[in-house]
Amino acid sequence: MSTASAHVNQKCPITNTSHRLESGLEADAMTVFMARRDVVGIRTQYRIEYRQEGKVKTHYADLCVDFINGCRTLYAVRNTENAAKLMVILEHIRNHELKKHATAIKLLTEKEISKPLVYRAKQILRARELTNEKNNEHVLKTLINLGGEAKAFQLLRSLPEHINVSACWTAVWSLIDRGLVIHDHPNAHHMTMSEISDLAIVRR
């Protein structure tokens, strides 16, 4: 794949800005952050100048993410096999320059940006666009009537006929996004949800 063909254009709904990302993995990482409720800002290609062995060098963090608690974290996104040399640069920045720019700087690889995590983020973002409040209410009430927890297919079978499979999943992801329902699995963020997945009401 050429450098040009690896570029991905992506729009960020948080800031209503468009970004040109260097790889599909970067785009996936950005998608994950866009789906998080605690993120208030995302920038790409954040420039950092640092001095190493007496020379001024430049590093561009792939993502700069601002969180609602006031923290800012810079992220370098690489496939694992290309990360070793970069980790040395990040450690140097962490020790000498980071305080000028952010709270932390981290490396993200395909291990952290797993396919199930990206799928989850995409479904949440889709649900934000397509959510139907009446369907959300039906799904939530039905899950409560099932005792507060059920398999996804059990929930679907118990819903009114006008709520089809697609509408049910949109409502489920919308409720997960709002913190009202969870995919009840110890590693839910890295597990693809299916019809046999466990869903549960969030007990407050």
pLDDT bucket at 39, cuts 50 / 70 / 90:
very high
144 shares a domain with 87:
no
**Which domain CATH number covers 98?**
3.40.1350.10
Q: How many domains does the chain have?
A: 2
**Residues 10 and 93 grouped into a single domain:** yes
Mean pLDDT for the stretch of residues 30-43: 97
Give the per-residue pLDDT at 25. Answer: 96
Highest mean pLDDT among 27-31, 80-84, 189-193: 27-31
Q: What's the whole-number average pLDDT of the chain? A: 93
Whether 65 and 142 map to the same domain: the answer is no
Q: What pLDDT is recorded for position 6?
A: 67
Can you give the residue range of the structural domain that contains 190? 115-201
Strand order through the sheet with 39-52: 39-52, 55-67, 72-77, 104-108
Encode pLDDT of 112-139 as tens digits: 999 999 999 999 999 999 999 999 999 9
Q: Half-sphere exposure of residue 4, counting CA atoms within 13 Å on the CB side?
A: 0
Specify whether 101 is located in the same domain as 132.
no
Q: Which of 108, 126, 155 is the last residue of a domain?
A: 108
- On whether both 103 and 88 belong to a single domain, the answer is yes
Task: Point out the domain boundary residue: 80, 108, 136.
Answer: 108
Lowest mean pLDDT among 32-46, 49-63, 115-129, 182-196: 49-63
> Are 37 and 52 members of one domain?
yes
Region class of 151: left (phi > 0), else alpha (psi between -120 and 50), else beta: beta
Regarding whether 24 and 119 lie in a shared domain, the answer is no
Is the predicted pLDDT of residue 3 greater than 70, yes or no?
no
